[in-house]
Amino acid sequence: MNYAGYFHRLLLVDLASGTSKVWTPPAELWKRFLGGKGAGLKILYDLGLPGDPFSPENPLIFMTGPVTGSPIPTSARSCVVFLSPLTNSAVDSHAGGHFGPALRRLGLDGLIILGRAEKPVYLEIRPDRALVHPAEALWGQGIFATERALKERHPGAEVASI
């Protein structure tokens, strides 16, 4: 069954292998867990919570909701779900801006980042895959310098930096 407002597509990226693929979650996810927070937390629990929040098994799950990027006021919201190193429990953090709507323009409801790269990297997200680029030159830069550098390399890009 199709649930309005969703593309039913998440991009999974494994930083350890440098691979990515589109995943279509079961329709039950969208039926039972409304919005990015609900779906993201369900995915986190289904992946299995790692014991150590700093481990490569702790995924970062960027999710959007069914109205993200729409003309509805305050709809430019997205959330990140992960196991918190502060509380050692599943948490969600919400943000406004252009990143969530940019994911939706690519036909994606979310982005799941797994594993750990051997060296610093950044992702260039496409509708059907993520390209993994070296980011040693960006390592240690602040978020504003990182965003500026990436937008110079990729005009028109939206940036979420950590």
Rounded Cα distance between 144 and 39, Å, is 30
Rounded Cα distance between 45 and 61, Å, is 11
Cα–Cα distances in Å, from 141 out to 10, 34, 37, 69, 159?
A: 29, 36, 30, 29, 14
Cα–Cα distances in Å, from 66 out to 5, 18, 33, 63, 121?
A: 4, 29, 11, 10, 30
Instruction: Choose which CATH entry (3.60.9.10, 3.40.50.11720, 3.40.350.10, 3.40.366.10) describes domain 10-118.
Output: 3.60.9.10
Q: Is 8 left (phi over 0), alpha (psi -120 to 50) or beta?
A: left
pTM: 0.93
Each of the 162 residues of the chain gets a pLDDT tens digit; together they read 456 788 999 999 999 999 999 999 998 898 899 889 999 999 999 998 877 899 998 999 999 999 999 999 989 999 999 999 999 999 999 999 999 999 999 999 999 999 999 999 999 999 999 999 999 999 999 999 999 999 999 999 999 888
Task: Note every long-range contact of 117-122, with CB atoms under 8 Å and residues 24 or more positions apart, other chains counting.
Answer: 117/15, 117/16, 117/18, 118/16, 121/15, 121/18, 122/150
